[in-house]
Structure 1
Amino acid sequence: MIYLDNAATTPVLPEVVEVMSDTLLTTFGNPSSIHSYGRVAFQTVRQSREAIAQALQVSARQITFTSGASESNNTAIIGYALAHRKLGNHIVTTAIEHPSVINTVQYLHDRHGFDITFVQPEPDGSVSADSIKNALRPDTILVSMMWSNNETGQLLPVSEVGEILSHHQAVFHVDATQVMGKIPVHPLEIKADFVSASGHKFHGPKGVGFLYHADLLFDPLIHGGEQEEKRRAGTENLHSLVGMAKALQISVAHMRENYEKVEQLKTHLFEQISDLTFYKNEFGKSMPHVVNLAFPEQNHDLLLTKLDLAGIAISTGSACTAGTIEPSHVLASIYGESSPKLKENIRISFSELNTIDEIDEFAIKLKNALK
């Protein structure tokens, strides 16, 4: 099998497995216990938090561990909105966000009466900072925007929006799931109040993530004990925290070379398929890790099945909507809900673990599948 679905999840690095296994075997105490086993476990949690904070160049107290980016997104959006409703009732996001953002703000609308503005892409598919600025109102309390789109790789103007919001009461939540460990993510530089991430997107384990938050008030989603400074109850997922921290440290240490390798893989792919008829679902500047291609009059479900049988793992879009019959809401927001283009696209997503030989083999099998 050739794995080219890294936007959905990435393989866990051997070094990460090693530290996780060692933690499971040697550090089994409850971090909330006061005896020596508990103190060792607590120290391990603290070291993992400090490692994450160092990568983001923020204070360790501003990192809260979660079960992944979906929980982080929910915590930031619901937690802040409910805690600060006295300041306003309006939330702004974009129409191309991950379901864990779109469905969360929709929940706030349906169950709590918040007014939501979904900013639509420009005719060229881009999302401009001006469109966010124009959507702001005096009662806007939160803006949520992804850094890079999980289906197309499109980079959104987070720095520009952060600057705009520095002169507005609304706080800024950035979903950095698809860029964490791939490019520098420093919340203070982009003036973000919240930043979400998930360990399994940068070669860490599944089921663990974190939320950066500025020094502001937000309600917890999970109630119980006093873990995470009362921001998220529940015994810490110790070995996964260690694995995530290790994975991020490795990714940051090799960030430049990994990025350059992925750029080479993307360039090589287009060289190998230059004789095919296709168009790119690429809108402005994008991360090289995600390529969204479409083949006119070729049903992507059938193409996906053919490639799977040929030993190629790719997708048609977000893994969180896989298995549904609905087309991509991202592409629908650009092309329209009735466009035939919604059934022609495939997503290829790389990591630095992929090789040129794999791209060559993929190109050959793609051409065979299209015959």
Structure 2
Amino acid sequence: MYYFDHCASTPPHEEVIRTMAEVMAKHYANPSSLHRSGVEAGHLLERSRSAIAGLFGTEAKEWVFTSGGTESNNLAIQGAARANAHKGKHIITTAIEHPSVYETCKQLEREGFRISFLPVSRNGIVSLEDVEAHLTDETILVTIMHVNNEVGSIQPVHQIGRMLKDRRRGIVFHVDGVQSVGKLPIDLRSDSIDLFSASAHKVRGPRGAGLLYIRSGVKLDALLAGGDQEFGMRSGTENVAAIVASAKAFRMAMESQPERYERMTALRRQLAEAIAQIPELVLNGGEQEDMAPHIVSFSYPGMKPEVFIHLLEKHKIAASTKSACSSKDNKPSRVLEAMGVGQARASSGIRVSFGDEHGNRELEWLCSMLETVVKKLKPLERKEIRS
């Protein structure tokens, strides 16, 4: 099987699997326990925290381990909103955020917070000027993803962070970095990012393990009540094995990021050029420099995307339609709709996302099979207006 669905989840490194199995077998004690086994597990936990902090040039005390990107985003957004509600109840985000951000903001909206869902360009990018124009004295939080998980558009989080720092009035800046870690360079300090979410299974680590960076001095209300683990931010016995394995996966991903960027950028260009040669298909997103190197989104207007996906699978290719969190509904892509590409394209989006195992041979097979699948589906195409 040619697995082109790395945005949804990634195959874990063999080294990561071995590490997790070893820790599960040898260090199964509760890291909060006072006996020797518990203390040893606690030391592993804290060494992993320090390793993560070092990768990002931050302090260990600024990192909280969670169950994944969804929990990290919820803790960041709900925690910041409720901790700062006495200052104001206005939050700025975009219309194309991951469901774990978008739906969390919708939930807060139902609770009385005012949410500005900013539009994006046809390339899927929010305007820095638009963010600045929507700031008010009531704004307490700006939450914007680094890389869009459906189309791969890169948001100007560097410029937004610096703008907010210049105009700082206690506004918290959260970045969902789930799709950017290991793909793009990240500098939490210089970009003035207060909260940053990441997920291990997007970087060939285990599922059920995530990170949340909380800059020193930023206040959050915890979501879980319990034993006061993770500096009181995330009660519950820590999954030491998954955390240790995650630290290894993040290290491997970030150390190889420059090489991965170069290789995947070339693959993305190769695929984009091939898609441009197939009249029935149309690329979604902007120019190469505006897009993450590992994601290509395209549409086949007039064709149901699940039909396309299942036919690709018959040719040993695994791809996806939109976010894995919402891929089973039949609605048009909220992200593509927000980009203004039209109903036909929003209803027929396909996402291909690369991984470490992909090279020219795999891309040549994929490009060939796209042509084959389109030829087979052409007679079934619904007569819709292409836009």
TM-score, scaled relative to structure 1: 0.96
Deviates more, 1:251-260 or 1:67-76: 251-260
Provide the C-alpha distance between the structure 2 equivalents of 1:235 and 1:271, rounded to a whole number of angstroms. 49
Q: Which residue of 2 aligns with 1:344?
A: 348
2:194 paired residue number: 193
- Please name the residue that 2:317 is paired with: 312
- Give 1:185 shift: 1.9
SS of the residue 2:105 aligns to = helix
Structure 1 residue aligned with 2:230, among 214, 228, 251? 228
The residue type paired with residue 196 of structure 1 is S
- Counterpart of 1:257 in structure 2 is 259
Task: Report 1:167-186 matches (<5 A).
Answer: 167-169=167-169, 170-186=171-187
Rate the CA distance shift 1:125–1:21 in 2: closer, same or farther, 3 A: closer
Within-5 A mapping of 1:1-371: 1-110=1-110, 112-122=111-121, 125-166=124-165, 167-169=167-169, 170-215=171-216, 216-273=218-275, 275-277=277-279, 278-284=281-287, 285-335=290-340, 339-371=343-375
Quick check: 1:315–1:348 contact (8 Å CA) kept in 2? yes
Rounded to whole Å, the distance in 1 between the matches of 2:67 and 2:32 is: 18
Cα displacement (A) at 1:343 = 2.2
Assess if the C-alpha contact under 8 Å between 2:275 and 2:282 holds in 1. no
SS in 1 for 2:159: helix
1:153-207: CA deviation from partner (whole Å, max 9, x where unpaired): 1000101111121113211000000011222222111101100000001110111
In structure 2, what is the Cα distance between the partners aligned to 1:123 and 1:357? 32
CA contact (8 A) 2:123 2:286 kept: yes
Letter in 2 for 1:44: L
1:324 & 1:158 partners in 2: Cα distance?
30
Q: Which residue identity does 1:312 align to in structure 2?
A: I
Q: Distance in 1 between matches of 2:81 and 2:343?
A: 35
Q: Distance in 1 between matches of 2:357 and 2:58?
A: 29
Percentage of matched positions with identical amino acids: 37
Q: What CA distance in whole angstroms lies between the structure 2 residues aligned with 1:123 and 1:343?
A: 16
Shift of residue 224, structure 1, vs aligned partner: 0.2
Q: CA deviation at 1:311?
A: 1.5
Q: Comparing 48-57 with 252-261, which one deviates more in the overlay?
A: 252-261
Higher deviation after alignment, 299-308 or 21-30: 299-308
Higher mean C-alpha displacement, 240-249 vs 356-365: 356-365
Residue pair 1:261, 1:352 contacting (<8 A) in 2 also: no
Give the Cα–Cα distance (whole angstroms) in 2 for the partners of residues 105 and 53 of structure 1: 28
Query: Helix, strand or coil for the counterpart of 1:164?
Result: helix
Aligned equivalents of 2:34 and 2:146: distance in 1?
A: 40
Bigger drift between 123-132 and 154-163 goes to 123-132
- Structure 1 residue 123, shift from structure 2 partner: 5.0
Aligned to 2:382: none
Over 3 Å counting, the alpha-carbon distance change for 1:228 and 1:359 in structure 2 is same
Q: For 1:143 and 1:53, how far apart are their aligned partners in 2?
A: 23
Query: Cα distance, 1:20 vs. partner?
Result: 0.6
| Count of residue correspondences | 369
SS in 2 for 1:361: helix
**Residue 272 of structure 1: how far off its partner (Å):** 4.4
Out of 261-270 and 100-109, give the one that drifted further. Answer: 261-270
Worse-superposed segment, 271-280 or 242-251: 271-280
8 Å Cα contact 1:272/1:360 also seen in 2: no
d(CA) in 2 for partners of 1:255, 1:89: 38
Distance 1:366 1:171 in 2: 44
Tell me the amino acid that sits aligned with residue 239 of structure 1: A
SS at match of 1:321: coil
Whole-Å Cα distance in 1 between the matches of residues 296 and 276 of structure 2? 14
Q: Tell me how far apart the structure 2 counterparts of residues 369 and 122 of structure 1 sit (CA, whole Å).
A: 30
Measure how far apart 1:124 and its partner are.
Answer: 5.1
Aligned-residue Cα RMSD (Å) equals: 1.4
Q: Is the 8 A contact 1:183 1:255 kept in 2?
A: yes
TM superposition shift of 1:271: 4.7
Displacement, 1:357?
A: 1.5
Give CA deviations for 1:205-233 in whole Å, capped at 9, x if unaligned. 11110100112211111110021111110
Rounded to whole Å, the distance in 2 between the matches of 1:292 and 1:124 is 11
Rounded Cα–Cα distance in structure 1 between residues aligned with 2:160 and 2:357: 33
Q: CA deviation at 1:127?
A: 1.0
What are the Cα deviations for residues 2-49 of structure 1, in whole angstroms up to 9, with x where unaligned?
100111111100110111111011111110011110010000000110
Contact 2:93 2:142 in 1 (8 A): yes
CA deviation string 1:288-308 (max 9, x = no partner): 100001234333221111112
Amino acid corresponding to residue 262 of structure 1 in structure 2: M
Q: Is the 8 A contact 1:259 1:352 kept in 2?
A: no
Q: Secondary structure at the match of 2:93?
A: strand
